[in-house]
Structure 1
Amino acid sequence: MTDIVNLFIVKLRDYKFLVGLNLLLLFNYVVPFKSLAQSEKPNVIFILADQWRADAVGYAGNTDVITPNLDRLAKESLVFDNAVTVMAVCAPWRASFLTGQYPLTNGVFYNDKPLPSEALTMAEIYKEQGYQTGYIGKWHLNGHKRGEDAFSARDKPVTKDRRQGFDYWKVREVTHDYNNSFYFDENDEKQYWKGYDAFSQTDSAISYIKKNKDNPFLLMMSWGPPHNPYQTAPQEYQEMYDAASLTLRPNVPENLQDSARKVIAGYYAHITALDKAMGDLIETLESEGLTENTILVFTSEHGDMLFSKGFLRKQRPWDESIKVPMLIRYPDKINKSRKIKGPIDTPDLLPTLLGLSDISIPNSIEGTDFSSALLSGKDIENDGALIMLPVPFHEWNFSNGGREYRGIRTERYTYVKDLQGPWLLYDNKKDPFQNKNLINQSAYSELQDSLEKILQAKLDDTNDSFLPADDYMSQWNYLYDKQDSIRAPDYLQMNR
């Protein structure tokens, strides 16, 4: 009987050992599977430059500008030939992108006005899905209080409740002093970027990527350049360009060509410096094994006229102002580079990224999710990207000839109207520099009518009644900054 009892005890011990061993093995397998499931969520890195127009990259056929890293990235990415900014100015683009809404919906249609804290934004959506979130660089969405100086908030910290879901935080509201640049950290403490700020910001992004590589993360880095001042890139990059040898677009007036070449030389120097920073970031993704499962986006918020048609900077409805470069690389799901010809608008970017990330689109988003077409190897089907300027201000205010407008940019045509009616019509295939305005010409009346219908349908869809600027300023209880509301009696007739 004793032998039977002892045998039973031994067997029981063996059974407990096996059960424990199985539980240990099960635990060891479950944990990696859980980690694998987490890693299946793609990281998202969004690189935003300020005022970088669409043709200022080598991969677009520009033989003057030096962008080897972006050119290489383009060979691995979706290349968007018609990435359009809904409103070609800083804060409105940012608010539209982060919310997936049009400017008249979220109320940011004028610089230095606040994005409402209750707005549902990109970081909040990804954070809900378990993502780490980080933001580095220029913010320009905090705004200033009514009655304060227009730029009063640009040197102040953005408090935690105004960061719209971003946790890692190395941000300044606005600066264009790229070599003496400070920021505020998560604790609202003032810190300084070392040297040329885009380089230090990229180093910070690289550090963030390395520290968060084992968890899905969303990181947005917002560089200030190539936005003016144009002549402040590091000297070694300025020395790469001889202004006298640069090629100009044929719509630059002859009397401004010398000035244009000097400005563009500095502009390109900034761009080549940023290309170097992009190369460092791409190299980090490769060395950390993150390339395949990372959605990497490069774009800009608007372009720069650079003396085309005699103008500098933005807000205007011409391609130099409204078209931007854009690349999306996602090797896990899109393993072949191709050009996307269909137009994509600013509010479309967030829902498309959510679609690529397999995240449901919230009802607050107004843009279109084009991810299915991108994943299936198709082009975007879009009858036109909406462009607008509800309120002209600052550099193109009323006294400078600014005007309210609405328009569409299709794959081929540009059609724009102001408050008095049709204003611009271009066939961008036959006339890529938009030198011949076809508006109200009988030979193009059918085309004009069809584009008008497309535009009006988009305005109807977005509840846009196309009112004078003063109406929108009153609706949102905004004040004009810098005497922008002073208009010449015939301002609507200017530049017709």
Structure 2
Amino acid sequence: MIMADQLKATALPQYGNPDVLTPSLDRLADRAVRYDLAFTPHPLCTPSRVSLWTGAYPHNHGVRTNELTAPVDRDNYLRAFHRAGYSLALLGKNHCFGADDLGLFDVYKDFSHTGRTDGGDERDRRFLRWMADADYSQLWETRTAPLAAEDCPAARVTEESCRFIESAVEPFLLWMSLPEPHEPYHAPEPFASMYDPDEVQLPDWTGTEGIDEPVRQRLYRELCGFADIDDRSLREAVAMYYAMISFVDSCVGRVLDALERFDRHRDTIVVFVSDHGDFGGERGLMVKCNSLVDALTRIPLLVSVPGAAGAGTVVNDPVSLIDVMPTLAHLAGVEAIEQSRGRNLPGLELATQPRSAVFAEYGAGATPMSYSAGVEAAGAMPATLRPLLRAAEAEGRPKMVRTSRWKYIYDPLDPVDELFDLAADPHELRNLAADPDFSHIVADMRRLLLDWSINTEDAFPVPLYFDASDLAPTSDAHFAPFGA
């Protein structure tokens, strides 16, 4: 299972972007089932990854911030594959498991966005030293890594993965978790120069003057400095994001080659997926925030099963990231875990009931917050403003329901509901929720969201990783309910 970090589906040519070169993913897609409408249940790293491995929504497993790990008192598919006798490896970014579960991996080497977390060898230390010296003053700033490509984290993860493929005792499960194309935006040559910022096609965006922009997104735009980003800087960020994607693609190709070189391609299922997306220039933004737009929730998903029908086909039914591990367990003959809410993916000749809709959520039910108009745009977030973003990430419980055509977002802390017709408006620029001509659609989508909430939400408290009472203001910023 190859996981990219923060890769939105529509950045790839397989999902409609002809500007990015991904020959290895083209190669995989030719023999895989491609899921055109795959979605994460939470567009943040750790909650989405725990959802992947538990087959459950964040409101089920309780992990709704990046600072928590998979709960020890809830079963997961890592343990299921361990019980079934699989050799297990996690190579790359974790952001999921705690110490107890990490002990189940036969091989575990953690590479984060800044490099190997335990120091590694001299190549890893070179990258760590460069990252320590790189001064990223803004979230969208780009760098060309002054190192050989093979010394950068994605390539090091790939190297270790190929070594595991060569020597692993079958059956095995490898989670190759690449830390790219996540910010900070940088790539080595020749990738860094592959895309000319002047030729980058930015998504349509009419500006931020409309009062309909959700409060959570407006807060992110203003605090992180995106309200003042210039066109050139945005183009450079998107170009480097594309460069990182092509770097990831080269890593995918090396793993596919290794499977063939060691004669393991005939009986190895290969999955390519992402945990969540990136704005990637949409709305004049980069990175991510507590928004539920498709740029952040729609993810690539390719599943290649040797010998199965459906190679090279496309499934248009909505599917969820929580469906991936239950499907792999079914294909591998591994017993499903009791608390999983995932279902078998369609298109793989498995008995399943296709989904008519998928769901995503954010927040942890924490206190509503706001900020004073005097807070200046902050770029890389000085320490005085970090509590604001932390509180914004945890506040409330916004929820999304997405069908093949419609998306509805409900946030009880925001006066603006959101309804988008994705067939006519793929970039979600025209909010139809207040239009009386679409009131029946709003009612139908609310009913879907309510049914999902009633039928899936557990009665367990959601943990915070901080004490909200400790978030005393340290600048002109202040916390207050919306409108206060």
TM-score band (shorter)? 0.7 to 0.9
Tell me, in whole angstroms, the C-alpha distance in 2 between the residues paired with 1:401 and 1:463: 18
The 5 A counterparts of 1:232-251 are: 232-251=186-205
Corresponding residue number in structure 2 for 1:204: 160
Work out whether 1:338 is the aligned partner of 2:313. Answer: yes
Q: Provide the residue aligned with 1:329 in structure 2.
A: 304
Query: Comparing both chains, which one has the higher relative contact order based on Cα–Cα distances under 8 Å and sequence gaps of 6 or more?
Result: 2
State yes or no: 1:137 paired with 2:125.
no
- Report the Cα offset of residue 253 of structure 1: 4.0
Q: Secondary structure at the match of 2:427?
A: coil
Aligned to 2:106: 167
Cα distance in 1 between the residues matched to 2:285 and 2:255? 34
- Per-residue deviation, 1:241: 1.2
Q: Deviations over 1:135-181 (max 9, x none)?
A: 10111235xxxxxxxxxxxxxxx74x341632211125xx322xxx2
In the alignment, is the contact (CA less than 8 A) between 2:344 and 2:351 conserved in 1?
no
Question: 1:427 and 1:484 mapped to 2: Cα distance?
Answer: 41
Cα–Cα, structure 1 residues 209 and 99, in superposed 2: closer, same or farther, change >3 Å? same
The one-character-per-residue Cα deviations of 1:291-339 (angstroms, maximum 9, x if unpaired) are 2211101111111113322333223111111111111111222352211
Say which SS state the counterpart of residue 48 (structure 1) adopts. strand
One-letter code aligned to 2:160: S
SS of the residue corresponding to residue 366 of structure 1 reads coil
3-state SS of paired residue (1:98): helix
Confirm or deny: 8 A CA contact 2:344 2:352 kept in the other structure: no
Aligned counterparts of 2:438 and 2:354: Cα–Cα separation in 1: 24
- Which residue of 44, 57, 70 corresponds with 2:12? 57
Matched position secondary structure for 2:4: strand
Q: 1:412 aligns with which of 405, 412, 417?
A: 405
Deviation at residue 366 of structure 1 after TM alignment: 1.9
* CA distance 1:190–1:202, change in 2 (3 Å): closer
Deviation of 1:79 (Å):
0.8
| Residue matched to 2:45 | 90
Structure 1 residue 63, shift from structure 2 partner = 1.8
C-alpha distance in 1 between matches for 2:202 and 2:425:
16
Q: 1:292 to 1:399 in 2, by over 3 A?
A: closer
Equivalent AA in structure 2 for residue 126 of structure 1: F
Pair 1:104–1:404, CA change in 2 (3 A): closer
1:32 maps to none
Q: Is 1:264 aligned with 2:238?
A: yes
1:15 matched to which residue of 2?
none
Among 356, 361, 367, the alignment partner of 2:336 is: 361
- Kindly report the root-mean-square deviation, in angstroms, between the aligned alpha carbons of the 2 structures: 2.9
Q: C-alpha separation between the residues in 1 aligned to 2:472 and 2:294?
A: 24
Contact 1:398 1:487 in 2 (8 A): no
1:398: Cα distance to partner? 5.1
Cα distance in structure 2, aligned partners of 1:164 and 1:458: 35
Does structure 2 conserve the Cα–Cα contact (< 8 Å) formed by 1:342 and 1:379? Answer: no
Q: Are residues 1:219 and 2:212 paired?
A: no
Partners of 1:176 and 1:227 within 8 A in 2: yes
**Offset at 1:72?**
1.7
Flag the 1:361–1:266 CA change in 2: closer, same or farther, 3 A.
same
Deviating more after overlay: 415-424 vs 86-95: 415-424
1:55-110 Cα offsets, whole Å, 9 max, x none, are 11122221211111111211111111111011100110111111112112222101
C-alpha separation between the residues in 2 aligned to 1:444 and 1:298? 37
TM-score relative to the length of structure 1: 0.76
Tell me the TM-score normalised to structure 2 length: 0.78
Deviations 1:272-303 (A, max 9, x none): 11111111111111222222211101111111
Residues 414 and 265 (structure 1), Cα distance of their counterparts in 2 relative to 1, 3 Å cut: same
Query: How do residues 423-434 of structure 1 correspond to structure 2 at under 5 angstroms?
Result: 423-434=417-428
Distance 2:84 2:292 in 1: 37
Structure-2 separation of matches of 1:140 and 1:357 = 25
Residue 349 of structure 2 corresponds to 376
Supply the AA of the counterpart residue of 2:356: D
The match for 1:40 is none
C-alpha distance in structure 1 between counterparts of 2:410 and 2:297, whole Å? 15
**Structure 1: how far apart are the matches of 2:123 and 2:179?**
13
Measured in 2, the distance between the counterparts of 1:428 and 1:164 equals 44
Superposed counterparts of 1:463-478, under 5 Å: 463=457, 472-473=462-463, 478=466
Aligned runs of 1:432-443 on 2, under 5 Å?
432-443=426-437
**Alpha-carbon distance, 1:404 to partner:** 3.3
C-alpha contact 2:343 2:352 (8 A) present in aligned 1 = no
Percent sequence identity over aligned pairs: 26
Conservation of the 8 A alpha-carbon contact between 1:106 and 1:115: yes
CA distance in 2, matches of 1:464, 1:439: 29
SS of 1:292's equivalent in the other structure is: helix
* In structure 2, distance between residues paired with 1:130 and 1:119: 20
Query: How far apart, CA to CA, are the structure 2 residues paired with 1:379 and 1:235?
Result: 45
Gap change, CA 1:336 and 1:162, over 3 Å in 2: closer
Kept after mapping to 1: 8 A contact 2:79/2:101? no
> Which consecutive residues of structure 1, in runs of 5 or more, have no partner in the other structure?
1-45, 143-157
Instruction: Provide closer, same or farther for how the CA distance between residues 394 and 248 of structure 1 changes in structure 2, counting only shifts above 3 A.
Output: farther
Q: Which runs of 5+ in 2 are unaligned?
A: 125-150, 209-228, 367-385
Match of 1:348 among 298, 308, 323: 323
Q: Which has the larger radius of gyration?
A: 1
Q: Which amino acid aligns with 2:360?
A: I
Which secondary structure does the structure 1 equivalent of 2:270 belong to? strand
C-alpha distance in 1 between matches for 2:74 and 2:117 = 24
Amino acid at match of 2:165: I
Corresponding residue number in structure 2 for 1:491: 482
Question: In structure 2, do the counterparts of structure 1 residues 395 and 321 end up closer, same or farther at CA, with 3 Å as the change threshold?
Answer: farther
